[in-house]
Each structure stands twice: as C-alpha cells, then as structure tokens.
C-alpha cells in the first residue's frame, strides 16, 4: 500500500511537472485554425447552398429539398475520401472539414476503407460507424426526446 503522505507528494510532483510542460508545449495556432475552419466550413456551406437552390428550383419546398441536398454533399465527400483528398482538407481546416455533413460522410467512408482489411462483415460492416455512430446515437436520443416533449406539451 502506498503511504498517504507519499501519495500526496506524488500528486504535488505531477502538478509541478504539468506546470513545467505547459510552458514548453506550443499553443495551437488559434487564429490560423479559426480562419481556416471559418473559410473552409463557409465554402462547404456555399456549395451546399448551390445544391439546395438547384433542388428548390425544380419546385421542391425547403423541407423536401434538404434531404437530397445532404445526400449530394455526402456523395461529394465520399468520392473525395475515396480519392484520398478529404483528409488533406481535414488536416488544413480542422473543424471546417469535420463539422459539415461532408465530414460526417468522411468518417463513415474512411472507416469502411480502413477496416475492410479485417473482412467485409466483422471489419467493414461492424466498424463503418466507429466514429459516426455516436453522432447518430445522440442525435436520435436528443432529437426524439425534444420532439416528444414539444409534441406532448403541444408547443
């Protein structure tokens, strides 16, 4: 058993070391990262707007046009992922590439490409949603819950 006094001393040593590390660790280039995320995320949204407008020009309402718009964005991202281009966008733009639906599609395609080497059932099939899975899980949990509340309360 560790002596309690010794434990405290070790915790102090750790805290002291972490302060030393904080001095040496370079800060993330926040301004550069923010600008890159803003511009790339914005441009992907503009592309989405162009697709949305194209669908709406055929007479679809906004609600009707949203699903095919997202599907088209997913198609573009999937192809770019297959061509090994999308992860370069991610490296450059961080959240600018991760937050749009194109980033969501990238996680699914990238996982599928990677894990197929462990087989198409237990590899690709099982692990396709290894990163996108939580987004769907919590999207459904939160989405159904808030809609249930809104529906019941008749807001």
Partner 1 sequence: MGEQRRIGSSLRFASRPAIVATGTVVGPMEAKGPLTQWFDTVVDDAMYGERTPEKAERRFMQDAIDIALGNASLQPENVHLMVGGDLLNQIVTSAFTAAKYPAPFLGLYGACSTCTEGLIVAAAMVDAGYADIAVSVTSSHYQSAERQFRYPIELNIQRKATSQYTVTGAGAMVVARGAGKVAVTEATIGRVLDLGIKDPNQMGPAMAPAAADTLFRHFADLGRTPEYYDLILTGDLGSVGSSILHELMRKRGVPLGDAHRDSGAWIFQGVPGTGVGGSGCACAAVTLGGYVFKQMMANELSRALVVATGALLSSLTWQQGESVPAVAHAVALEVQPQAAATS
Partner 2 sequence: MDYLIAFLVGGAICAIGQILIDVAKMQPAHMLVLFVVAGAVLSGLGLYERLIDFAGAGALVPVSGFGHSIARGALLEAERIGFLGLFTGAFEFTGMGVAVAVILATVIALVANPKA
Interaction residues for partner 2, span 19-48 (CB under 8 A): 28, 30, 33-34, 36-48
Which of partner 2, partner 1, none interacts with 51 (beta carbon under 5 to 8 A by kind)? partner 2
What is the per-residue binding string for partner 2 in 61-100, x denoting contact by CB under 8 A? -xx--xxxxxx-xxx--xx-xxxx--------xxxx-xxx
Which of 28/143 has CB closer to partner 1?
A: 28
- Please name the residue that has the structure tokens 């462990």: 118
Restricting to residues 58-117, name those near partner 1 by CB under 8 A. Answer: 81, 84, 86-87, 89-95, 97-98, 103, 106-107, 109-111, 113-115, 117
Among 101, 6, 15, which Cα is nearest to 51's? 101
Which of 29/42 has CB closer to partner 1?
A: 29
Which of 11/79 has CB closer to partner 2?
A: 79
Least Å distance, CB 141 to partner 2, is 8
**Which two structure tokens, joined as six digits, stand for 48?**
């989405």
Q: Which long-range contacts (CB under 8 A, 24 or more apart) does 75-83 make?
A: 76/47, 76/102, 77/101, 77/102, 77/103, 77/105, 77/106, 77/109, 78/105, 78/106, 78/108, 78/109, 80/106, 81/105, 81/106, 81/109, 81/110, 81/113, 82/109, 82/113
55 sits near partner 2 (criterion: CB under 8 A): no
Which of partner 2, partner 1, none interacts with 14 (beta carbon under 5 to 8 A by kind)? partner 1
Q: Do residues 78 and 105 lie in contact, with contact meaning Cβ atoms separated by under 8 Å?
A: yes
């Amino acid at each position: 058993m560790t002596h309690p006094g010794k434990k405290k001393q070790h915790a102090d040593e750790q805290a002291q070391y972490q302060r030393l590390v904080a001095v040496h660790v370079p800060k993330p280039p926040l301004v550069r990262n923010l600008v890159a995320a803003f511009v790339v995320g914005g441009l992907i949204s503009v592309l989405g707007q162009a697709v949305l407008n194209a669908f709406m020009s055929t007479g679809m309402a906004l609600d009707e046009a949203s699903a095919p718009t997202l599907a088209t964005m997913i198609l573009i991202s999937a192809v770019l992922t297959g061509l090994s281009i999308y992860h370069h966008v991610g490296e450059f733009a961080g959240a600018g590439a991760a937050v749009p639906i194109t980033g969501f599609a990238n996680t699914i395609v990238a996982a599928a490409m990677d894990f197929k080497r462990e087989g198409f059932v237990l590899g690709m099939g099982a692990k396709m949603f290894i990163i996108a899975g939580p987004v769907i899980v919590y999207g459904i949990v939160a989405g159904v819950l808030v809609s249930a509340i809104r529906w019941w309360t008749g807001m």
